């Protein structure tokens, strides 16, 4: 099932990162979703790309996604960064393969670079529910930290810590019963150099 949304607003969140606020093109309500969900976006070029929903899950009426413009883009991120306010997109119903563990007594969220997108939605949901969590956010620099202003604000005071000068790759997940562990895996080093481990990313995190 697909439906049409309209780009309501575009913001520059960090170097090469833009957020897009999407609203229903026909005025109907958007399907509800839980933190960690993503949507398929069907671009006019024929490409389909998946993007995490990073808005507050209880915020009805619009979806928020963020896209990093990749230097070697095969067309997805370039097409998204070419969008303008008022453009329309065909998207799928939200799906969730990255859900929070509701039984956890404390959630430790660890994000690297653009991997912040699903974890931002989780942080918003946990914060709204007054559930214990910490968010550790690794980026190359403050200028590369998407949603820095939001995460530095009073809503998340004492719950978010920023770490700079780290290049990261895809997001991985391990969820224990209590607490839950969610992290982004750093890029593997060049051959011959030591491979990073969970313990040398943050000594506070025990291996799964």
| Sign of the alpha-carbon dihedral angle for 52, 110, 184, 182 | negative
pLDDT tier at 153, thresholds 50, 70, 90: very high
Give me the CATH topology for the region 107-201: Rossmann fold (3.40.50)
Entry pTM: 0.80
Q: What is the CATH number of domain 2-92?
A: 2.40.30.10
20-50 per-position pLDDT tens digit: 999 999 999 999 999 999 999 999 889 999 9
Which residue blocks in the chain are alpha helix, DSSP H?
Answer: 76-81, 116-128, 148-151, 198-201
Q: Which residues are CB-contacts of 9 (< 8 A; sequence separation ≥ 6)?
A: 20, 21, 85
CB 144 within 8 A of CB 199: no
| pLDDT, mean of residues 147-163 | 96
User: Where in the chain are the domains?
Assistant: 2-92, 107-201
DSSP calls for 135-146: EEEEESSGGG-T
């Amino acid at each position: 099932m697909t439906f049409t949304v309209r780009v309501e607003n575009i913001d520059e969140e960090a170097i090469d990162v833009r957020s897009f606020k999407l609203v229903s093109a026909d005025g109907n309500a958007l399907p509800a979703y839980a933190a960690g969900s993503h949507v398929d976006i069907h671009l006019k070029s024929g490409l389909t790309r998946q993007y995490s929903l990073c808005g507050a899950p209880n915020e009805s009426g619009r979806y928020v996604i963020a896209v990093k413009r990749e230097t070697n883009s095969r067309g997805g991120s370039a097409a998204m960064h070419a969008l303008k306010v008022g453009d329309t997109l065909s998207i799928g119903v939200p799906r969730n393969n990255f859900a929070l563990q509701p039984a956890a007594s404390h959630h430790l969220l660890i994000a690297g670079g653009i991997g912040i997108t699903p974890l931002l939605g989780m942080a918003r949901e946990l914060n709204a529910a007054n559930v214990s969590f910490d968010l550790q956010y690794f980026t190359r620099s403050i200028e590369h930290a998407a949603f820095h202003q939001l995460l530095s604000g009073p809503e998340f005071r004492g719950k978010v810590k920023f770490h700079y000068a780290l290049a990261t790759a895809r997001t991985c997940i391990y969820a224990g019963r209590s607490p839950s562990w969610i992290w982004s895996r750093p890029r593997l080093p060049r051959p011959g150099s030591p491979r990073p481990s969970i313990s040398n990313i943050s000594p506070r995190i025990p291996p799964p």
